[in-house]
Each structure stands twice: as structure tokens, then as C-alpha cells.
Chain A
């Protein structure tokens, strides 16, 4: 018990974590105050719409942190993290669907609208239990976790790494997307799950619930960040970095590389699932589009832009890119894909360590003149 406490409390002694948590909590508090106390119409007022938008960004940031854990500290570029995110989202979506009860368009007390529409006469077996919140929340963790466990077990055991792993993770999310598009799967086909009413008894359209979800996303991000920092700073984290930099050497020293990889991968997938579960009630829909390979690869860009292997860089990247996306798609939707594509090229060619790397090198230059420190883990 004591050991585990010191393991978990270590991040709080790190300066970077203290700064990150300080900034995050302060931002949460400011947004809440501006939303609640400043009257609507005042230039400083933050509307509930903006709060929900920020909440969405925060859930994306958690997803980015999860990806950074495997890419930055384990050297595994997953192009399928959107799949874990979407699975968590679907688990939450199924709970929210069951909460609708008989208030759907067809008024069936048990079956969701799309099943009535498809003429199904009973719930498929995998929909049972999702009327209970605790079960659904457990599945938010277990569904992505199990998928990651099985997939990772097979992949790491046969030492599939590098580009190969990236490509098959992409194939995984692509296959899941195709599967979820099918009506026969029982997840609403291409319309997905939507028309949610309430979560744990709170009306999803009320301003208070939306603020609550925003705060929950912020807290989840903070906890996820601390968890990742704790893992990274632990002995396991050091072995994982060793796997990233020299997998064969770590194996020869005697570490069970595939176990480390599997553990970190599963934790990361569960975090992604939590992010998805927070995302769904805020945007009000989950559909197979979240499984699309493009979304997953976009997540990689957030991390790359922020700087991989820093965790806070992933958060910065997710917030910046998504804010840019909101602005661009509102002002000139045509230009967004140009900007996104350009960002991919610029970041990888000119900013291989991302914004965080840029900040770090600036700081170093200020601290000790022009002394070059050896790059660590820049290439993969």
C-alpha cells in the first residue's frame, strides 16, 4: 500500500506536472467562473456552447495523452487509437440509448429506435446490462482494454513492431469501421447512436450538465496525465523507454519486452476509451466515423505537433489543432484539409520534436549557451 502510494505520488513532486496541473485546474476554474458569474452578453462571458466545445477538446487531449504514452514512451505508433476511443464512446452511447427508455420516436420501452426501425423484436445479447451505469462505465474500460489485450498479445508475442504494427493497427480500425457500418451489427449502422436524453439522471441539454461534463473531462485529463506520468517515472516506464530505444538490447538484458509493451498498450487503450466516453455525451452522437483511419492518424498529428514523449506536448497539440480545425471549418472549410496536410508535412520535416521540443531547445539555449545536448529517441 505504501509502495503504491509513493509510486502514484511521485509525479506530484515533478515540476512539470505541478505546472501542468496548476495551469489546467486554473483554466477549469476560470472557465467555470466566466460561465456562471459573468452575465451573458458581457464580452468575457463564456457561453455554454464554448464550454461544451472546450470539453470536447479536453476529451481529445486525453486521447492524445493516451497515444503519447505508447508512441512517445514505448515507440509504438498506433494508427488505430481512434478504435479504442470509439469503443469507449459506443459503450457510453449504449448506456445513454438505454436511458432514453420510452421517450424515443417509436416509444418502445426497451428497444432503441433504430432496432424498432429494423424490426428487431428483442435486444441482442451484448446490449444487456447497459441500462446499469456501473456496468456501462466498466465496459468503457473493458471493451477497449480487451481489444488491446488480444490484439497486443498476438502482435507483441510475434514481435510485430515498427511500420508493420502501424499498418495493422490501421487495418484494425478500418475493419472495425466497416463492421460498425453494418446494420446487422446492432450498433445503429451508419447513423450510429444519437438522440440521447440524460446521463445518470441529469438532462444532457441543461447548462449545468454541460458544465459538469466539461469539468469531468478536465478532471479525467488531469488524472490520466498523472497516471501516465506515474507509469513513465516508474521502473516499468524506464524499461518501456528502453524498449523504445533498443528493443533487442532490452530483451537480451532479460526483460520481458512483450509484457511491458502489452501492459502499456492496454492502459493506453483504456484511457482512450475513457476519452471516448466523455466525448460522446458532449457531442451527442457516436457513429462509425470515429473509427475511420483518418481520425486516428489525425490524433497522431496532435501528438507530433505538440511533441511526442512529453505528455503535456500531446495536450498542447490536441488543443491547438482542434481549435484551428474549429476556426478553419467555420471560416473557410475548403482550406482545412490544406492546412492539416501542410501541418503534417511541416511538423515532420521541420519540427520533429514538436512544440515541446522547440520550447525545450529554447530553454537550453538560454541556460547553457550553444551546447548541444544529445538527442534522445528522436528517430524511431
Chain B
């Protein structure tokens, strides 16, 4: 019944098409139509040949057709005989577009469409064909991607065309990957010579193929594979080490950024600013606000938020200094309490004015993605940027403290306030500027943090204890100490994490610092001489 009906329908279609086509299509794509017509047959063998024909045709739509065919979305209209690609097959009416002209045809009832069926053999052929099609892509990155996908997926029938491709391939990386893909296939056939081509690769498919070979009955093959695996294992360990170091440095750079402003206000001025975390939060919210002002340009907004975040936090810092801290000079514990109050107010202010919920800050395109060193090692770009940014901020701060008039005055006032004043330095002005500088750097930390974590009212709170730990660990009043302490605490945390878990690692680091302070109460790099007595 079905065959008869479809035969009749097919005939009808042919008639209709032959009548209608010349009039309906502005630029009749006869080649494409012929290729598709060849698919609409009952014999799967014939369909297979049609697929090969499509792949070899170089028709611009060929890839889209084959993908649709693989997904069962290449269909034919019952009456009009048009070939369509179904966009979404949910419900009764499906949105479709014309397979030949790419024209949007709106919605069609599922009853009016006939699927071009495939079987398992055809599915395998389609997958192979698609993979090979990608290898012809003009973009090198697409070819690499396709070659990587082929690892472990090569069937015997593909070896021949792949060998041809390797010879014509211009890119070394693609050639290497293809050779490996073929080698995996040879290895599965028990070829010892294939092991050499695979050694040193970190790809998981390569490793699983090798471990399968290592268990084989062929003693020579098993031995060669085991040796190759050991080499890979060693390389992987090295990579893991580098990865841990990178994550550690990245975490450390965040700590340094959060703590370096504190190193100025706490370390140099001796002011305990518990609202430091909230200044970081203000910087992060500035980034968010900037992106709201410049929708669609996250990159520009981010660049502009660097000065903006600095200014916002610095102004907030000046307000805090003038309204609270100046009255508590020489009473560090009271300062701690008062600024804690300020931090509560700032948090609640953000909750009330903006929202208690987290805000997402978009990363610009040039910061997302990762830098691929090799198959076992890739470095996420945003963390790399933050690491660089932290070092830059540190260098800038060092310059300000060592090479500018302000830095000189700050150091003078810290060492001996009375004498500095009698030399004509306006100590109050220096206080304000120093506090503004430290607060501004906190704002910069916020801008950087907005790229790594959620921006919310509690953002600052999560960093305040860590920041104090870093400053105390490094030695109060010492910027180098803060840098070394921040980076090393980050690395220690990451090294501990795999065997202790994230939370326990953090606890262990805290306990470590508590014990360390018992041993060296003035940190890694204590101040010497008169400054130490203050």
C-alpha cells in the first residue's frame, strides 16, 4: 500500500514539478535538485551513492543537506515536491525552509511532509562524509577541529581518502592530527608501527586506544603501547603541574589585587579599613553600570570602567576618610569597628538601590575563550588578563610609591608625622590622597573581579578576610611582601585543593597563616628599624 501510494505521489510530484518548476523558480538550481532527487529513492544503496554524489559535488548547500539528512530533518513535500529542511520538529506544525533556495517557507503541517529515511549503514557513511567535508574547509581552525574530532572515529573505509588528504594538507597541525587518527585505526588492527606516531600525544582518544592496545594479546604491541603510555603519563603530569600553577597564580593575582589596596591603607597608613571589600564591590558595580550605559559594547565598557572604577572607589574612600577615619586617628581598633559599620551601610545601600540579587557582567569577546598550549593544557584568557592586570597595577603602585612626590610624602608622613609636617608637608592632604589611592586600587580590583565572579552585594565580604590575611602574611607596610604572599597563598591553595577539597584547602591555608603568625608575628618581610616600632 505505502509503496504504491508513494509511487503515485512521486509520479504526481514529478508531473507537478515539471509543470510548475520553470515558472516558479527565478533561478532554477537544476544541479542541486537533481542531487536531491537522487536521494528520494527506496533503495538504501542508491541513497548511499547519492550521498557520495552530493559530497563530491561541491555544491554550497551540500553540507547543510547532509546534516539535515543525518538528523532526519531533510524532508519532501507531499504535493509540491519541494525539498525542505525542518527547523524544529515539535508539535503539529513545523517551521521549514526551502532546501534549495534557503527561502523561509513559514510553517507546514507535519502531515504534508515525508521524511527521507536513513538506516544505520547510511548514518555511518553520513558521519564519515561530513567529517571529511570539514577537512576540506578553507579555514585552518575548522580543519583542525575536524581532524581532532576524527581521532578514534576512523573506519577502515576512510583510511584511503584520509591518506590522500594528509599528502595535500598544508597545515602541520592538521597533518599531525590526521596521521594520528589513521594511526589509531592501524593500532586497532594490531599494527605495532602505529605506536610511534601516537607517542607523546595527550589526546584522550589516543590514550584510550593505547591502553586498549596495552592489554592486547600481542606481547610486542602491548609492550610498545605501555611504554608510549608511560611517556604520555609523564607529559600529562607535567601539564597538570603547570595547570595547577596557573590556577594558583590566577587565584593569587586576585588575592594580590584585593589586598594591594589594603597594603596601602593598612600597611602604610595603619588604618584598618573593614570597608575595603565594599570598595572592591563598588568597582565591580561600576563595571556593571558601564555596561548598562554602553549596551552591546562590553569591551569598550570594560576599558572605560578601569578609570571609572578607580574614581568611584577613590571618591568613596575620600568620603569615608573625611567622615569617619580622620576622627579615629591612633585608635586602630575603633577604626576597625567604625569602618565595619560603613561596610554594612554600603552593602545595604547596594541591596536597596540596585538589587539583592547578583548581576552578571558580560566578558568581551577578546577575553573569553582560552589559549591552547597543547591538547592537555589550555589557559583561560580572562584569568590570564587578570593576572597581567594585577602585575600591572602592582608595578604602577610601586612606581607611585617610589618615584613620585606623593610617594615620597606618604613615606615621610608614615615614618615621622611630626617631622614631616614641620618640613612643610601637609599631612592631612597626604592622608586623604593615600587613602584615595588605596581605595581606588580596590576599585580596580573590583573591575577585574567582575570578569571572574558574580557581581553581588556580598562580593566584597568574601575577600576581606583573605585580603587581611595576605597583608599580614606578607608583612604589614611592605608591597613586595603582599605580592609574594598573595601569589604563594594562591598556589598553596590550588596545590592543596585536589586532595583536600576546596573548602578544606581554604581552612588549611587559614590555619597555616594563624600558625605562621605565631612564628613570625610581623609577616614574611617584617619592617626593620624605626618604622617597625610604629
Contacts and interface: CB of A to CB of B under 8 A. Distances in A.
B107 interface: no
Interface in A165-184: 166-168, 170-172, 174-175, 178-179, 181-182
A342 B335 CA distance: 14
Contact of A380 (B334, B343, B503): B334
A158 B522 CA distance: 11
Nearest to A160: B521
Interface in A145-163: 151, 154-155, 157-160, 162-163
B510 A171 contact: yes
A157 B343 CA distance: 33
B253 interface: no
Interface in A282-302: 293, 297, 300-301
B87 interface: no
Contacts of A301: 337, 341
A297 B339 CA distance: 12
Nearest to A153: B518
Interface stretch (A23-31, A100-108, A332-340): A332-340
B465 A174 contact: yes
B344 A160 contact: no
B506 A340 contact: no
Given A158-B519, A334-B352, A163 B336 contact: yes
A304 B337 contact: yes
B514 interface: yes
B246 interface: no
Q: Which of B331, B335, B506, B514 has the most CB of A within 10 A?
A: B514
Contacts of A170: 465, 468
A348 B337 contact: yes
Contacts of A160: 517-518, 521
B497 to A, nearest CB: 14
A349 B518 contact: no
B515 A166 contact: no
Interface in B314-367: 324, 327-328, 330-338, 340-349, 351-352
B341 A343 contact: yes
B337 A297 contact: yes
A49 interface: no
B272 interface: yes
A345 interface: yes
B531 interface: no
B334 A352 contact: yes
Contacts of B11: none
B332 A163 contact: yes
Contacts of A379: 330-331, 334
A164 interface: yes
Contacts of A263: none
Contacts of A342: 341, 345
B507 interface: yes
A340 B511 contact: no
B518 A157 contact: yes
Contact of B348 (A167, A338, A343, A348): A338
B264 to A, nearest CB: 16
Contacts of A316: none
A22 interface: no
A168 B335 CA distance: 17
Contacts of B338: 344-345, 348-349
A372 B468 CA distance: 39
Interface string A38-65: 0000000000000000000000000000
Nearest to A340: B344
A77 interface: yes
Contacts of B333: 77, 162-163, 166, 380
A190 to B, nearest CB: 11
Contacts of A166: 333, 336
Given A154-B518, A163-B332, A349-B328, A341 B337 contact: no
Contacts of B515: 154
B238 interface: no
Interface residues of B, number: 42
B513 interface: yes
A340 B341 contact: yes
A120 to B, nearest CB: 18
A301 B517 CA distance: 26
Nearest to B326: A349
Contacts of A347: 337
B345 A168 contact: no
B348 A334 contact: yes
Contacts of B468: 167, 170-171
Contacts of A345: 324, 338, 341-342, 345
A171 B465 contact: yes
Question: Chain A: interface residue count, which band?
Answer: 35 or more
A341 B457 CA distance: 15
B336 A337 contact: no
A345 B333 CA distance: 12
A178 B517 CA distance: 20
A195 B333 CA distance: 39
A376 B353 CA distance: 43
Given A158-B519, A344-B341, A380 B331 contact: yes
A279 to B, nearest CB: 23
A337 B345 contact: yes
B110 to A, nearest CB: 48
Contacts of B348: 334, 337-338, 341
B469 interface: yes
Interface string A167-210: 11011101100110110000000000000000000000000000
A175 B510 contact: yes
A347 B344 CA distance: 15
Given A304-B337, A342-B345, A171 B469 contact: yes
Given A163-B336, A349-B328, A352-B334, A341 B507 contact: no
Contacts of B330: 379
A166 B345 CA distance: 22
A348 B331 CA distance: 10
Interface string A107-129: 00000000000000000000000
B13 interface: no
A340 B504 CA distance: 32
A305 B369 CA distance: 52
A159 B332 contact: no
Contacts of B352: 334
Nearest to B515: A154
Nearest to B465: A174
Interface string A305-348: 00000000000000000000000000000100110111111011
Given A159-B521, A164-B517, A337-B344, A181 B503 contact: yes
Interface string B496-513: 000000011011001101
Contacts of B284: none
A171 to B, nearest CB: 5
Nearest to A337: B348
A304 B338 CA distance: 11
Contact of B345 (A77, A159, A178, A341): A341
A364 to B, nearest CB: 22
B313 interface: no
Contacts of B327: 349
A168 B468 CA distance: 9
Interface string A339-374: 011111101110010000000000000000000000
Contacts of B272: 163
Given A179-B504, A344-B340, 5 more contacts: A166-B336, A167-B468, A182-B504, A304-B337, A338-B349
Smallest CB-CB A-B distances: 3 pairs: A344-B341, A341-B344, A341-B345
20 contacts: A77-B336, A157-B518, A162-B332, A162-B333, A171-B465, A171-B468, A171-B469, A179-B503, A300-B337, A340-B341, A341-B340, A341-B341, A342-B341, A345-B342, A348-B337, A349-B324, A349-B328, A352-B331, A380-B331, A380-B334
